[in-house]
Structure 1
């Protein structure tokens, strides 16, 4: 581990603004985006059951069509989820389509492909679990192949007022009126994802921000949220010794305010993390983090420091000051570590400690001050969903449907292990003391009975 003499600075302006935004966003009882209103997976004011299963503390369970790893979003008593209903290909058709796409034989085993996909937006009543509506957004013939662990509907939608923004990467971006179900506008920004879409959108002010880091092109764009028209585009910095495969990324941006009052759009990608002005796309600072690519975990921010995983390759955890300008590679790194860092799940930052689970199921706790490890504990299984801190406990959901609950602290205290039918790939939502969990087959409302 490298350490650069980190001393935690208190950023009063950033902390106050962030806290105000979080409390205001949560006041209306909503879960508007990936990882909640604050985008960090923390719900301090609520608690949900520590014991649950198919026959325990499940208020309702509703089956969902298609396959999708997007997380549920909630507002005004309605849960919204996106999905992709696939027209399945036979084994022979699958191989034929992949060969036609120029995919190497050695890569075919880890990929999946459909003959066509129907992209849908589904609304579910929060109280009863009944499906209220299903909106057809698009039919895509002959979509690209995706990784077998991915889906064609992995980006999480965003609720902004009466609008809901659904993003499917290269397959389309849609603004939907939540009350009427009408598609107000749609855009299609072609991109070669390589293994399918992943980055979720962000709404900030009048701008809908999309990270477009593909194999063919890497850029960030800001769209007019009302019309869908492009306001700005910002190409990524040049890569060093990168192939198309190691240029792609799937991260979701965050917006922060530093101690100088500068608002920053933080966009993590392959080799570089860059801060932009959200309104204009002008670059504020950039930092080269190495050879990491296919980045999924969403960055976290505290006290003028951003924490991020460098993604695939050999995942590393970096802590970087956000008070710089220009290329800050040699001046603003606080510390780095490469011990047990996730390439897929995001992390939780609580009481100056970072809590995480590696893709292969090893949970750990590290100091936000210097990156030193407090503990690690094997949970077992594989993980893609991000952990959520709810009422002082951290909930980890695995591919095999197990939810392990850990109490944060000096030692790894496992409170409970619960199991649901199906696979957990989507991060959960929390509202009104209820845990909303999406598996590969169903949506659950879990609460004390």
Structure 2
């Protein structure tokens, strides 16, 4: 289903058709873009829009999902969950069985059944072209009220797209044919639902599996789904599984010595693994942080992490060590105004963050010195995006703040869309792709 009520004139339609050839060749292949850092390699991106201005198309998306859109060959892909709601009696009965503290029942919602679906939308027109049902499950585990059953972002690699739903299954789909290539299930007790996105590195699909019951990182053969290696996380001293779970997404780097590293953030520990066999290269104990969501970023020999829930902190860690480098390789730590969910953004030696409660900050990446701090307002889960010299911050309330990066705070625009924004946006060609709780937008000036 597609709506195209916002094409302003035949001239705009002609421009849209002309730019289709450009954007069709550009990819946004994984969570936070093809480089995984939230920075789009584009020369133009919109500054101002609304529900009735500069919206090329708006396409309703059935179900609920916080996975971000990914793009290749002129198609936008995302996952969603079609839910049959449980009754309140069914919900309470399940929570009494699974959640120890009744005071926490209000944090959870429960579906009677779910269908986990992969959706493809034409980038040029917004027409929905494919719906592929991947998983049908009765009586799924409860999830947090703020989460969805389809929160991990799929990753595109060649002709395949890899859809990961945590404990509910990992499925490789041939996106040209729309057929399943392989599937695998790695059971895990997430506690509040899935969150970690898959990551492709060379021949491996890397998954962080940090549950309440077990914590490990694994690599699957991306062609077959067979396990290449599995490495348990360092020992955790948390009193319960609640403080052991985590939801992070890996990044890959090559350090100055030429070592390939998979950087995998988790509760209490940040670990760098050898991607060939999963052996530990180095690790840092970052404290008691848990339920870590922000994806690390890397630059100039340093990786930057947010330590997750508890009391979020921003850490800068040099990557040239071996073994436990907690006491030797931590460059700096900042403890104020740090996000538990949105990832940091590293631009030209400056680190930008937006806290969950709407405080934007800029830090000097080398020293950790605060450059500026400003209340933007709203609640935030989506990670910031940098495109064409602008930073985009998408709030739960549907507001998108556009900032100019630099050592002074500059607000360029505030734009309002209908619905809730929790999926991280994408940018390619001259457009933004923004997913709300009900629709996918393509926005261009």
TM above 0.5, yes or no, is yes
TM-aligned CA distance change 1:102 to 1:27, over 3 Å = closer
TM-aligned CA distance change 1:447 to 1:27, over 3 Å = closer
Q: How does 1:362-441 map to 2 (within 5 A)?
A: 362-441=359-438
Instruction: Look up the match of 1:327.
Output: 324
Does the 8 Å CA contact 2:41/2:428 hold for their aligned counterparts?
Answer: no
Partner SS for 2:106: helix
Instruction: Look up the match of 2:97.
Output: 100
Q: How does 1:280-291 map to 2 (within 5 A)?
A: 280-291=277-288
Instruction: Give the distance between the partners of 1:98 and 1:140, measured in 2 at CA.
Output: 18
Question: What RMSD over aligned residues (CA atoms) do the two structures have, in Å?
Answer: 1.1
Unaligned stretches of 5+ in structure 1?
1-25
TM-aligned CA distance change 1:220 to 1:67, over 3 Å = same
Instruction: Give the distance between the partners of 1:291 and 1:97, measured in 2 at CA.
Output: 29
Deviates more, 1:188-197 or 1:35-44: 35-44
Partner SS for 1:98: helix
From 257, 262, 266, the equivalent of 1:265 is: 262
TM-score, reference length from structure 2: 0.94
Task: Answer yes or no: is 1:80 the counterpart of 2:91.
Answer: no
Does the 8 Å CA contact 2:65/2:150 hold for their aligned counterparts?
Answer: yes
Does the 8 Å CA contact 2:42/2:429 hold for their aligned counterparts?
Answer: no
Does the 8 Å CA contact 1:68/1:152 hold for their aligned counterparts?
Answer: yes
From 144, 147, 160, the equivalent of 1:147 is: 144
TM-aligned CA distance change 1:124 to 1:276, over 3 Å = same
Partner SS for 1:108: helix
Instruction: Give the distance between the partners of 2:238 and 2:396, measured in 1 at CA.
Output: 34
Instruction: Give the distance between the partners of 1:45 and 1:292, measured in 2 at CA.
Output: 35
Q: How many residues align?
A: 423
Instruction: Look up the match of 1:201.
Output: 198
Instruction: Give the distance between the partners of 1:417 and 1:128, measured in 2 at CA.
Output: 26
Question: What CA deviation, in whole Å up to 9, does each residue of 1:277-310 have, x standing for no partner?
Answer: 1121111111111000000000010111100000
Deviates more, 1:89-98 or 1:272-281: 89-98
Q: How does 1:171-320 map to 2 (within 5 A)?
A: 171-320=168-317
Unaligned stretches of 5+ in structure 2?
1-22
Partner SS for 1:245: helix
Instruction: Give the distance between the partners of 1:351 and 1:122, measured in 2 at CA.
Output: 36
Instruction: Give the distance between the partners of 2:309 and 2:25, measured in 1 at CA.
Output: 37
Q: How many Å apart are 1:103 and its aligned residue?
A: 4.2
Q: How many Å apart are 1:104 and its aligned residue?
A: 2.4
Instruction: Give the distance between the partners of 2:337 and 2:99, measured in 1 at CA.
Output: 35
Q: How many Å apart are 1:446 and its aligned residue?
A: 0.3
Instruction: Look up the match of 2:18.
Output: none
Q: How many Å apart are 1:179 and its aligned residue?
A: 0.7
Partner SS for 2:91: helix
Instruction: Look up the match of 2:13.
Output: none
Instruction: Look up the match of 2:17.
Output: none
TM-score, reference length from structure 1: 0.93
Q: How does 1:12-91 map to 2 (within 5 A)?
A: 28-91=25-88
Instruction: Give the distance between the partners of 1:44 and 1:186, measured in 2 at CA.
Output: 33
Instruction: Give the distance between the partners of 1:311 and 1:379, measured in 2 at CA.
Output: 21
Partner SS for 1:121: strand
Instruction: Look up the match of 2:118.
Output: 121
Instruction: Look up the match of 1:157.
Output: 154
Does the 8 Å CA contact 1:83/1:120 hold for their aligned counterparts?
Answer: yes
Question: What CA deviation, in whole Å up to 9, does each residue of 1:63-102 have, x standing for no partner?
Answer: 0011100000000000001011111112222112212334
Instruction: Give the distance between the partners of 2:240 and 2:25, measured in 1 at CA.
Output: 46
Instruction: Look up the match of 2:19.
Output: none
Instruction: Give the distance between the partners of 2:24 and 2:86, measured in 1 at CA.
Output: 46
